[in-house]
Structure formats: structure tokens, C-alpha cells
Amino acid sequence: MPISSRKSFALSLAGLFSAMALTLPHVASAATETATATAPAMVSSPGAPDLSQADFDTAKQIYFQRCAGCHGVLRKGATGKPLTPDITQSRGQAYLEALITYGSPAGMPNWGTSNALTREQVTLMAKFIQHTPPQPPEWGMAETLKTWKVLVKPEDRPTHQLNKLNLQNLFSVTLRDDGKIALIDGDSKQIVKLIETGYAVHISRISASGRYLLVIGRDARIDMIDLWPLEPTKVAEIKVGIEARSVETSKFKGYEDKYTIAGSYWPPQFTIMDGETLEPKQIVSTRGMTVDKQEYHPEPRVAAIIASHEWPEFIVNVKETGKVLLVNYQDIKNLTITSIDAAPFLHDGGWDSTHRYFMTAANNSNKVAVIDSKERKLTALVEVGKTPHPGRGANFVHPQYGPVWATSHLGDAGISMIGTDPLKHPQYAWKQVGSLKGQGGGSLFIKTHPNSRHLYVDTPLNPDAKISQSVAVFDIDKLDAGYSVLPIAEYAGIKQGALRVVQPEYNRAGDEVWFSVWSGQADESALVVIDDKTLKLKAVIKDKRLITPTGKFNVYNTQYDIY
């Protein structure tokens, strides 16, 4: 991460760390520090190795950046296993260091062997997770308003597109550890502009009109970019918590671009904002009881959010409680929220091909929940493989089963296919109709396109470099023939680095597939473009500004939910 970005991120975490200090495990008292003026302040927890305050703060920052997304801010687990002291201390320092270093086939990244963490950092993190987790501060309307900025007022923005960009084939590319996105012209393959954002942008979303690009970082900062000026320009920003993953805009007819919603991991809540300025309107907590044991959960994080096309509603996944919330925004001052019981550990998902049924993975429950957005109810809970992780998933017409939606898995090599046509193929609807075998566990994204007959499956978190640096490709008309392997990292021509290949993304026409070749901050990374018809290399995009590229979002496909 460049110095300016590191300073910005450090400053954004400074308030978090100082507030956390109030609830940290025991820190040496001022009197003790006075008596031993030259000794550093120490942090102690029963049964854990003591850490200096400086090392503890460093470890908190690493945990927030790398670990909290899977294991939770309070370390109670979700996609990743719980890391509470009773568990970590029983495993011991050597075991924890080995796990952090080498990862696991179930999806735990190999932080050490990929050089994402140094040996010293691995040792530090193994010690840190044996301590009592610090309680992070709350974040309400007052804190949110302090971060809200309108950089260009709506009345000062253009009334039509002034640039000559082909916006429908523009890509928003996350530069994860650089605190930026790169806007890349899908036609010329040239970088149009780099825009500073929050840390580790998780997703990019496009407003219903196709005008506004919204990105949200793991630090819960939202940046709103107007694509119509002579060059795309950031027009508003806000911070909706301490850690977040999801942002979406209203898409129901008559409400296009009217509201924006963002979900936070911490505090567990969602925020509804004005769609043109990001002015916060409502903050709603998601703390509550789980659907299975009816137990109170203090950290039910907001995962995927999707905009309904059937009603003026946002569909909100509440991860740990396993509830899907239908948030009706017709009357913003008197929100109507319908709660649907699904299964714990709801994560990501997307529409079926008709944009009526929301297919969403309850990853640690090994299920996919099917939500009927028209009838506003749960249609089915479908058992699939270990830890489904679909991204938005993939819709295609199976030669035998008709329309299906597919997800790959973090925890095994399977790709589950679920029938989605209750009208013409009712015997297959809302059932797992088949399972393909991919290269291995550690998959994050699966992708196809209505104009393609190929299905791409990545495996960036597999500990085997040959697998993490390549992708599996299936011919949809010959699924029984198995997959072909494309050595994407090899195509990039980069000689060193982790070279994880992540997230296939189609262009507007559906005849190109883009992949990120993702290495560390100090290493060279690239984007690789494949011709979907021939499966041959079409282009390699290299630029010293492409630092840790991960997610890529084509404007048209994202705007119209094409996947």
C-alpha cells in the first residue's frame, strides 16, 4: 500500500483502536508504567501470551484487514471458524502458526506461504487470537453524519453524459490494498481513471439509471461516482460504520436512483440514504434471535443486499441470525420490514434468470435459500455442498434440467446446480439437480453469461498454487466431459508473487471474460482477458498502477443483474 494510502487507512482506524482500548484485556496501569518508565505497556489475557500495546494494536489492524470478514469482529465465526480464546488457546501457538501459514483446503488462505503476512506477522497473529477479543465501539447517526460529504451538489452535475466513454462496457476494478478503484475502458483496455476509495473495496454497484457507481470498502466507506462528467468524478462519500460489505440502490419502477442502502458488519445494522447525495435517513439494527436455536446474537452482520424488481424493497441478508429482511422504502419515515426465516450464516447470492427468485447461500449451513420476491416468502432451502460461495452465482440452461442457477464452494470441489423453472420444469425446481466436480475447494466466484456456453470457476483460496493460479472451464453443452484448465497466471507472464486468479467477469457483449491475477502490494499484478468463443488469450492488461486487483464489475452487467 502506498504511503499516502497507509496513512489514510491508519487514521481511519485510529478512532477505532482508541475506543477499543476502553474494553481491551488488561493493560498495565499508569502507576505501573510510571514505576517502570522504560518498559512498554503490556496487554494481558488469562492463558494468552502477553503482548506489548504496540504489537496488540498492529495485530488488531491486521485482523480487521484480513480476518474479520470470515471470523467476525468478535471472532465468533461464520464462513470461518470461531477464534475465541477457549478454542485458540487449546490449539496452541505452533498449531495456530501452521494454520495461518499454510491455510486449509476448506478455504482458509495460506497467509504465510503466499507472502501476504511475514513470518513475524504470522507469529504475532497466532498470539493475538489467543487474547480476549476487544469490544469495538458503536456507530450511530451522529458518527455517520460527521463523515458525510457532498463534493458536487446535484444541481451542479451535468444533465446528460458529457464524455465519450462507452459506459456500458466500462469496468470498475477493485485495487484492494491500494485504497482505490480503476475505471477501465472495456473496448480499449486502457485505464480511464483511478479514484481513491475506502480500504479494500468489496463491491461496486451501479444505480438503476446507469449513471452512478457506488463502491463500499471494508472500512464501511461509500464513494459515489458520477459517470456523466467529462471524466468520472466522485460526488459524495460517507462512512456507515467500522466494517461493511454491501451497498445497493433502489431499482423498482418510479424509485430509480431514489435511495441507497448499505449494510454493516460492525455495528450490525443497515443504513438507508438519499440516492443522489448519500444523506443518511435511517439506521436500523439487525441484532436479534437466531432462526435455529432462538438465541440472542450480538453480531448478526449484514451481508448481501439486492434490490427487488417486484416491490419497492431492498432484500437484506442478516448473516448470523439467518433472517432475510424485506425492507419496504415507500415510506422512509415509517419503514415496513418483513422478516423471513431462512438458515444461519446467510452470505452472498443473486437472482435467478427471471429476476424473481433470490438465490442466496447460507454458507456454513451448507444450504441455498430461495426467496420469492414477488410472493415475499421463502420458497425452499436446498442442501448443497460444503460452504457455498456463489458471488452472484451463474444462470444457464442445462441440456436436461432446463434453467438452473449454480454455485461453487469454498469447502469442497463441488459446483451445485439448482433447478429454477417451476413452470416448464417443475420436477426439478428448487432442487439440487446435479453437481459438477471442479479443481478443488477455495472457490469464490462462478460465472457465465446469456451469450456464452461456458461456465468459469475460480479457486483463489486453494492452497495449491497450480489450482489457485488457474481456472476451470466447463462446456455447458457437454458438462459430463468435465472441465478444461486455463493457466491464467501463466498467461500474465509474471514471474513472482501469489498470482491468485480471482473473479471471472464478462464484458457487455458476453464474448470476453476478464480475470484478476492478484499478488501482493509490492508484486506485479495484472488483468487477463480471454476470448470466450475460443478460450484463447486475448489481452493482458499490465500497469504499475494495478496494485492488488481483485473484483471487477462491468457497468451494464451489474446494472441489469446479468450473471
355 is catalytic: no
Short-list 531, 421, 519, 386, CA closest to 473: 531
Catalytic residue among 131, 202, 355, 389: 389
347 is catalytic: yes
CA–CA distance, 381 with 361 (Å, rounded to integer) = 10
| Residue keyed to cell 495484472 | 526
Neighbouring residues of 59: CB distance < 8 A, sequence distance ≥ 6: 51, 124, 125, 127, 128
Helix-strand-coil split of the chain, %, nearest 5: 20, 35, 45
Q: Is the peptide bond before 25 cis (omega within 30 degrees of 0)?
A: no
Q: Is 40 within 8 Å of 54 (Cβ atoms)?
A: yes
Catalytic residue among 1, 20, 108, 359: 108
C-alpha cell at 92: 496452541
C-alpha cell at 329: 422504502
CA–CA distance, 505 with 529 (Å, rounded to integer) = 9
Q: Report which secondary-structure segment, H or E, holds 90.
A: helix 85-91
Q: Please give the biggest Cα pair distance in the chain.
A: 80
If phi over 0 gives left and psi between -120 and 50 gives alpha, with beta otherwise, what is residue 391? left
Q: Is 123 within 8 Å of 95 (Cβ atoms)?
A: no
Report how far apart, in Å, the C-alpha atoms of 15 and of each of 61, 136, 280, 509 are: 12, 10, 21, 45
Catalytic residue among 20, 67, 359, 417: 67
226-259 core/surface letters (b: 16 or more CB in 10 A; e: else): bbbeeebbbbbbbbbbbbbbbbbbbbbeebbbbb
Short-list 336, 313, 331, CA closest to 248: 313
Catalytic residue among 202, 297, 347, 409: 347
Residue 339 CB coordination number (10 Å):
14
Neighbouring residues of 444: CB distance < 8 A, sequence distance ≥ 6: 389, 391, 408, 410, 458, 460, 461, 502, 503
Catalytic residue among 1, 71, 125, 359: 71
Report how far apart, in Å, the C-alpha atoms of 246 and of each of 75, 181, 217 are: 20, 16, 9
108 is catalytic: yes
DSSP classification of residue 82: P
Report how far apart, in Å, the C-alpha atoms of 407 and of each of 274, 299, 350, 351, 561 are: 33, 26, 10, 12, 16
Short-list 462, 416, 405, CA closest to 439: 462
26 is catalytic: no
70 is catalytic: yes
297 is catalytic: no
Neighbouring residues of 560: CB distance < 8 A, sequence distance ≥ 6: none
CA–CA distance, 105 with 99 (Å, rounded to integer) = 11
Strand 313-318 and strand 323-328: the pairing is antiparallel
3-state class of 328 per DSSP? Answer: strand
Measured at the CA of 125, the angle between CA 17 and CA 55, to 5 degrees, comes to 50
Catalytic residue among 70, 289, 309, 425: 70
Residue numbers annotated as active site: 67, 70-71, 108, 347, 389
